[in-house]
Amino acid sequence: MYPSDFYYTKDHEWIQVRGDEATVGITDFAQKQLGDVVYIELPDVGKQLEFHQSIGVIESVKAVSDVYSPISGEVIEVNSALNNSPELINRDPHGQGWIIRLKVRDIIELEKLMSASEYEKFLEGLEA
């Protein structure tokens, strides 16, 4: 279910790192909790994000939710397809529903995050 080459946060973001670039999104668990996503506010390309800084806002029919950056870095691309099709976050949260791409500042920060198996255990704890 949760890709093994991603890292995960307790706020239910995922990050996939390739070299010094990373892709960030929210997890399947997060999209299920939110329900139908109808609006997303994306950051500007070039924005410098600190660890756990708000990237933007995702709104479902019922809820407004912040998305936080799993690590620090510079925004190099945003998924502008989400402006017209925010439902991609529900349909494919770990793929087409990605939110931003970052230039990673300090790879060591990944150590603060969870692996897929740790995240799955974390979810079990939430559901118990």
Partner 1 sequence: MKKTRINSTHKKLGARMIEFFGWEMPVEFSGIIEEHLAVRHKAGLFDVSHMGEIIISGRQALDFVQYLTPNNAARLTPNKAQYSALTTPKGTFVDDLLVYCLELDKYLLCVNCANSDKDFQWILDHKKGFEVSVENKSDDYTQLALQGPKALEILQPLLQANLQELKSFESTSGKIVGEEVLASRTGYTGEDGFEIYTLSLQPEKIWDAIMDRGKAYGLLPVGLGARDTLRLEAKLMLYGNDIDETTTVLEADLGWLVKFQKNGFLGKEALLKQKEEGIKRKIIGFELLDRGIARSHYPVFIKGEKVSEVTSGIFSPYLKKSIGLTYLPIECTEAGTEFEVGIRDKKVRARVVPTPFYKRSEKP
Residues that bind partner 1 (CB under 8 A): 35-36, 38-39, 41, 57, 59-62, 64, 83
Q: Which is nearer to partner 1, 15 or 42 (CB)?
A: 42
3-state helix, strand, coil in the chain (%, to 5): 25, 35, 40
Whether residue 102 contacts residue 76, with contact meaning beta carbons closer than 8 Å, is answered with yes
User: Taking the complex as a whole, how short is the minimal distance between the CB of residue 39 and partner 1, in angstroms?
Assistant: 5
Contact 67, 56 (CB under 8 A): yes
Nearest to 14 by CA among 32, 28, 1: 28
Q: How far is the CB of 8 from partner 1 (least distance, A)?
A: 23
CB of 9 or CB of 60, closer to partner 1: 60
What b-and-e string marks burial along 21-49, b requiring 16 or more CB atoms within 10 Å of the CB? ebbbbbbbbbbeebeebeebebbeeebeb
CB of 31 to partner 1, least distance (A): 11
- Min dist. Cβ of residue 79 to partner 1 (A): 15
Residue with Cβ nearer partner 1 (15 or 34): 34
Comparison of 66 and 106: residue with beta carbon closer to partner 1: 66
